[in-house]
Chain A
Amino acid sequence: MKQVVVTLALMALVALPLAAQAPDVAARLTGRVPPEVVSAVAGIAASAAGRGLPVEPLVQKAIEGGAKGKPADRVIAAVRALADQLAAAADALRSGGGRTDADVVEGGAYALGAGLGVKQVQELARASHPPYDAALTLRVAATLAALGVPPKNTVDLIEGVMSAGRSPGDVLDLPGEVQAGVAHGATPAQAAQGLGRAAANAPPGRPPGGVPPGQQKPPNPHKP
């Protein structure tokens, strides 16, 4: 009898937040997306919340699809795909012993979606000790991969910059540095390798794409 009561209490603890969240999701989506999207996304969000996954990215994806005028089935498919990526990222981070808060899980989902493997996401999350933020590191990795940098080069570059003691801002600058290298004729992989070598050889405190004192840094043609 006691076990039944405990089980019911636990189920209520799980169900109450879900029940509270579902109307909130539906209310936020109503008027922004077709009704069938509202009900489908509310269900996906409730399921995600039940697994401890962040719900906000799913709501945002649905709103984005509605704002962009996408058909209902495509919006639902995109939300479902994102939910799957979030679940995969959460599993990867959890099994890797890293943080699993919403921001990191979302970053991991983008990294997985951009082509990084589970082990690479785990590795980057593990290597992101303060002052580096795993959520930020994983998003940078996703962007580098989206630029065409192979996943292995992506991980090597970010880890190299962090182990060389560069600032978190330098990690954030990496996509722009790779873009600049590509604009000068390098492949994304070559640009990443060059930045990685520069990070390994440059004295601490200087960004991998830095220039000697007294010289002007060449402008990034992709930054207006």
Chain B
Amino acid sequence: MTETFHPLVKRLLDGELSLSDLPPELRGEGAEALRLLGAVDRAPVALSAEFETRVMAEVRRRARSPIRRIWHGLVEPRDIELRLRVRPWVVWGAALAAAAAVALLLTRPPQASEGARPVRVAAGDSVYVRFVLYAPTAQRVAVAGTFNQWDQHASPLARVGAGGVWAITLALPQGHHQYAFVVDGAQWVPDPAAPGVDDGFGRRNSMVAVTARGARIL
């Protein structure tokens, strides 16, 4: 059986050509195609009146549903024509405002990054101070200092993400506090971001000054 008919044979099937219009070498193929087409039952299909009634009732029911109408109104694409009639000074004003906003964004002071020490005044005389240490190989990190009686179990830092950064935020009373990080319960590490002072034991302590206006490392 021929899988695809010659284009002229297809035109024959479409009624555009007659069998005699085909070249002699295609007439056999054309006759075969007509024979196959003639075997197909092309009698009109008659549906029962009851079936048609049921289909139309369903169509009308769906068309009446307000939720469906709203949904279609929301999701179906439609053409919208928008016409604006503005004066030139409005355009220039908007452009200048946008430029000013961009300039403000570019020139404002940089915000505190993850590792900085954002502070705000807490209740009473305390100020929240954020301690951050980068220790990618550490299993646990704590901060110990004069504010927690140098207790390395009192203020454990938590991992921040998976990059080796550890952090904790503590409410410290106003004043001056010395501190150091304790890595894995044994290694006392001064804050790399702070110069620190001699601890009297051959190492250094870091120092943070906490005032009503915030906290600064010294």
Contacts and interface: CB of A to CB of B under 8 A. Distances in A.
Nearest to B175: A103
A61 B199 CA distance: 8
A67 B195 contact: no
Contacts of A223: 115-116, 193
A15 B208 CA distance: 35
Contact of A78 (B115, B149, B201, B214): B201
A209 interface: no
Interface in B111-162: 113-116, 132, 134, 144, 146, 149-152
B150 A67 contact: yes
A67 B144 contact: yes
A139 B198 contact: no
B209 to A, nearest CB: 6
B35 interface: no
Nearest to B206: A143
Interface in A56-83: 60-61, 63-68, 70, 74, 78, 81-82
Interface in A77-134: 78, 81-82, 103, 106-107, 110, 113-114
A40 interface: no
B116 A113 contact: no
B152 A142 contact: no
A173 B213 CA distance: 14
A142 B196 CA distance: 9
A51 to B, nearest CB: 20
Interface residues of B, number: 39
Nearest to B112: A223
Contact-size category for A = 35 or more
Given A60-B150, A63-B149, A70-B201, A143 B113 contact: no
B134 A224 contact: yes
B109 interface: yes
Contacts of B200: 61, 65, 78, 81-82
A136 interface: yes
A219 B151 CA distance: 33
B213 A65 contact: no
